[in-house]
């Protein structure tokens, strides 16, 4: 006589319903991704209507149709003053990629050193807290004196801006890992490297990804400032040139490109977050 409770046995119909529910949630999540475009589109419509009605001066805030026309001209015409928009985008993307790779790599390394030992924390964390309180853009004159006006000071400014949030969140994530997981790893005989790879880093990943999104936002913000310092190419250079010629439409094209690129990188991190944290998808917001 079997003592197994039949209610605890997996039923094919029940499994099928769970799979269908999971599949339905995934489809709803994919179908709802376009909902994030609603509010930007509403802003564009209100902006255009206000410009058409004369509520907003076209000289101070050009309408979206004018901005779009200017963007098409910048893409299709190699202007002597601005170059092409796509070339400026490539220069800006190169700078932010170099700066973020440098700052992000150093931030994660220092966070691991500080998070895994008290001695590492005492050595690293005070220095990072000092850097965190520095007025970042106040370092620009110092960087110009030290490194000149070339590419390196711009990349270094982006790296510093990106490093701080990623360090703080990764360090907090490492220190916030449940101690019982460490005890489980020691019970299973995991070595220190295996503990780091299988327990500590996965446990710190949610907060590290939050720091990654914050770092990307600050990296784009610092790029806007860095590219207006004696740059000869890039989106910031376009803004400087347009300011001299009082061309607000060109300025808004460059600013909108900044925002679109920022939204694109944030979307990539959100996609990475969904993939990397699939094990806790039930806790993630849809």
pLDDT greater than 50 at residue 135: yes
Q: What is residue 41's predicted lDDT score, i.e. its pLDDT?
A: 83
164-173: average pLDDT: 90
Identify the three-state secondary structure at position 123: helix
At residue 8, the pLDDT reads 44
The pLDDT value given to residue 179? 67
Residues 6+ apart with CB under 8 A from 107: 162, 163, 164, 166, 167, 170, 211, 215
User: Is residue 40 very low, low, confident or very high in pLDDT (cuts 50, 70, 90)?
Assistant: confident
- Alpha-carbon distance of 173 to 209, in angstroms, equals 10
pLDDT for 9 equals 43
Residue 203 in any domain: the answer is: no
87 in any annotated domain = yes
- What's the pLDDT at 244? 83
Residue 204 lies in a domain: no
Give the residue from 97, 230, 101, 99 showing the smallest Cα distance to 152: 99
Percent of all residues in the chain with a pLDDT value above 90, rounded to a whole number: 9
* pLDDT the model gives residue 37: 73
pLDDT at 13: 43
Confidence of residue 10 (pLDDT cuts 50, 70, 90): very low
84 in Cβ contact with 78 (< 8 Å):
yes
CATH of the domain at 152: 1.10.3720
- 6 inside domain: no
Residue 190 falls inside a structural domain: no
Residue 83 bridge partners (DSSP): 79
Q: Scanning the structure block, which residue is given the tokens 């806007």? A: 224
pLDDT for res 28:
54
The pLDDT, as a whole number, for residue 85 is 87
Q: What mean pLDDT, rounded, does the chain reach?
A: 78
Q: Are 226 and 236 in contact, with CB atoms under 8 Å apart?
A: yes
Q: How many domains does the chain have?
A: 1
Cα of first residue to Cα of last residue in the chain, in angstroms, is: 46
Q: How far apart are CA 281 and CA 275, in angstroms?
A: 9
- Domain membership of residue 159 (yes or no) is yes
Question: Which of 38-42, 102-106, 173-177 has the highest mean predicted lDDT (pLDDT)?
Answer: 102-106
Per the structure, the complete domain to which residue 76 belongs is given by 60-170+209-277
Number of neighbouring beta carbons within 10 Å of residue 102: 17
**In whole angstroms, what is the distance from residue 202 CA to residue 115 CA?**
14
Q: What is the mean pLDDT of residues 183-189?
A: 69
pLDDT at 286 over 50: no
Q: What are phi and psi of 83, to 5 degrees?
A: 75, -150
The torsion angles phi and psi of 177, rounded to 5 degrees, stand at: -65, 135
Give tens-digit pLDDT for 90-100: 988 999 999 99
Model confidence at 3, in pLDDT bands (50, 70, 90)? very low
Q: Is residue 129 part of a domain?
A: yes
pLDDT given for residue 98 in this prediction: 93
Which residues neighbour 186 within 8 Å (Cβ) at sequence distance 6 or greater? Answer: 195
Dump pLDDT digits (tens) for 188-237. Answer: 767 766 777 777 777 778 888 888 888 988 898 888 888 877 777 888 88
What integer is the mean pLDDT of 59-76? 86
Phi and psi dihedrals of 79, rounded to 5? -75, 145
In a domain, 217, yes or no: yes
Q: Which two tokens stand for residue 208?
A: 């590290």
Q: How confident is the model at residue 30 (pLDDT cuts 50, 70, 90)?
A: low
């Amino acid at each position: 006589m079997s003592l197994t409770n039949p209610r605890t046995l997996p039923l094919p119909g029940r499994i099928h319903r769970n799979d269908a529910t999971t599949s339905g949630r995934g489809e709803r999540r994919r179908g709802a991704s376009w909902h994030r475009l609603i509010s930007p589109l509403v802003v564009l419509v209100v902006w255009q209507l206000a410009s058409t009605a004369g509520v907003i001066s076209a000289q101070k805030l050009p309408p979206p149709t004018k901005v779009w026309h200017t963007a098409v001209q910048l893409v299709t015409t190699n202007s002597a003053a601005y170059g092409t928009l796509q070339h400026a985008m490539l220069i800006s993307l190169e700078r932010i990629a170099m700066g973020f790779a440098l700052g992000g790599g150093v931030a994660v390394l220092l966070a691991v050193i500080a998070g895994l030992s008290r001695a590492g924390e005492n050595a690293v964390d005070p220095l990072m807290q000092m850097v965190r309180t520095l007025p970042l853009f106040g370092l620009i004159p110092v960087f110009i004196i030290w490194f000149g006006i070339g590419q390196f000071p711009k990349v270094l400014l982006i790296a510093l801006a990106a490093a701080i949030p990623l360090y703080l969140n990764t360090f907090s994530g490492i220190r916030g890992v449940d101690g019982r997981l460490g005890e489980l790893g020691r019970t299973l005989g995991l070595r220190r490297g295996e503990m780091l790879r299988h327990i500590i880093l996965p446990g710190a990943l949610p907060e590290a990804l939050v720091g990654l999104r914050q770092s990307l936002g600050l990296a784009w913000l610092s790029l806007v400032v860095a590219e207006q310092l004696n740059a000869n190419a890039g989106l910031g250079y376009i803004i400087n040139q347009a300011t001299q010629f009082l061309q607000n439409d060109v300025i808004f094209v460059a600013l909108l490109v900044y925002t679109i690129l920022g939204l694109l990188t944030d979307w990539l991190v959100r996609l990475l977050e969904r993939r990397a944290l699939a094990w806790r998808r039930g806790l993630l917001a849809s």
